[in-house]
Structure 1
């Protein structure tokens, strides 16, 4: 089985926690022999996840493309930010634009596709709305311009808590408890999804990300005046619809049938405006499909390989 190479890209913008220039980590899955070396698929994870979420999908795509699975700032092996206020989509978009520039510096003829889960999909929408950065094809995994308030509160209840555990197994059980929306997985599948989420320090197991990624998120969801917070969310939705309507890339929208973040109503709207996404609903799954099961992998792979 192929293993990815961990690489680091120096990026401009907010500095690292120690004040030094910052690096963004990504997992580089080389295309198999005979593949079209121009083809690159960039995969970007959700709010509290990291790039190894895409291991199974990457294995399925390498017969025809190189896959770059990013650790967004503050997650995985990427540097933590000195100022938590930087943990927002504009920072991530700027970082990923630098990754695209790096790819094209080596391969000016590169053909880039995008797979984004949740937050990674929001970043992808912002990229796809800009013609110079737009991917050839865009996959939005259980996310759209409307983010349900109840889902924001659910995510806010655990992100940034910084728990530690006395064993890897206990940590994996905790991750399962906050990830019920992922749907059923075998023990081996769950272990593979959990291990990259953990770091061992001083005999304890910790989550991989900077707890401060929650600061901008909680500033919204923990606002004393819920009406003001909801108004801010509504303004954000209007801006996201503007981005979505500007997308011209063929778009696949995956929706967990039980998702509390992306409603069926929003998904239906997305099929009728902007890029008029093709929507595939995944039964027995909430937020968000993990792209591990054969049926989920195949729908993404078939979409990306369509001409």
Structure 2
């Protein structure tokens, strides 16, 4: 199922994406995952861009428009977010389900390999997929995330995730989204409006976040033992992946520490890193200089990224 989305203006010279949906399965039934697709649909060079915990695939509009001349860029809304379905059982909001959905998506795209750009949660999904035998992932950019996540940052995210925010106007919702994501960096009002508007929907006379608030339930239920097991699995995935990895860290990030980045470089096969000044968790990649980091990595060798 596909259609041109009226949310994308038909401006001359602007690359216009296509809106699609793919049907995926969970233990409790079927659900639809939405995704936007940019560039030539016949292009075998595919870049999959996956967003953070409470964000959407529309975070990547500027990045996708820039790279669409070379890549078929695909930006899914992870289940429970954006235009995707909500799961019947909130316990299904976990990395294994997200990986299964991405395998279904890649099968729909009908390509043997993909490159991967993952921000925060999107990076964890990519890392888990990349560590599997016969993975389709060829090269991966991890945006401010690694196998070890700092507990203080997770606690900070937990203070607002799933809260019943209601806004009297779209602008009020955009402003709150900007406040919650202020560590993304110094974005302009227009840039905040661009990436935050897709996060909001009007329901019952008020503006609310689109994502299923129940994604907070499994997030809050993670025990220290479960977190340690998940981290160990992700370190194994990193060690198993033989493709190139670029770790991008916001210099002020509270989620990804310099020590974790150093360990990733040591334990991975071909891991390099770059740090972006004046940004926390996570770099928004709407800035031209940040987009250039991704462009060079995915177009070039990706080993000598300089900013």
Instruction: Give the alignment's TM-score, normalised by structure 2.
Output: 0.90
Q: Distance in 2 between matches of 1:53 and 1:73?
A: 15
Say if 2:282 is the partner of 1:288.
Answer: yes
Which whole-Å CA distance do the structure 2 matches of 1:171 and 1:98 have between them?
33
Deviations 1:205-264 (A, max 9, x none): 1101000111100112xxxxxxxx334322322221111111111111100001000001
Contact 2:243 2:270 (8 Å CA) reproduced: no
SS in 2 for 1:251: strand
For residues 118-137 of structure 1, the C-alpha deviation after alignment (integer angstroms, 9 at most, x for no partner) is 00000000111124223221
Distance of 1:29 and 1:184 partners within structure 2? 26
- CA displacement 1:4-58 (0-9 Å, x = unmatched): 1110101122446xxxx311111111239xxx81111101001100100000100
Q: Distance in 2 between matches of 1:276 and 1:148?
A: 24
Aligned counterparts of 1:281 and 1:31: Cα–Cα separation in 2: 32
Q: Which stretch of the first structure deviates more once superposed, 178-187 or 85-94?
A: 178-187
Distance in 2 between residues matched to 1:235 and 1:24, nearest whole Å:
28
Of 41, 47, 53, the match for 2:47: 41
Q: Could you tell me how far apart the structure 2 residues matched to 1:233 and 1:112 are?
A: 28
Structure 2: segments with no counterpart, 5+ residues: 1-13, 302-307
Confirm or deny that 1:306 pairs with 2:300: yes
> Are 1:202 and 2:204 counterparts?
yes
Counterpart of 2:5? none
Gaps of 5+ in 1: 221-228
Runs of 4+ that moved beyond 4 A: none
The answer to whether the aligner puts 1:4 opposite 2:13 as a matched pair is: no
How far apart, CA to CA, are the structure 2 residues paired with 1:3 and 1:196? 16
CA RMSD of the aligned region, Å? 1.5
TM-score (norm 1): 0.90
1:1-307 to structure 2, matched below 5 A, reads 1-15=14-28, 21-31=30-40, 37-104=43-110, 107=111, 110-220=112-222, 229-307=223-301
Aligned length: 288
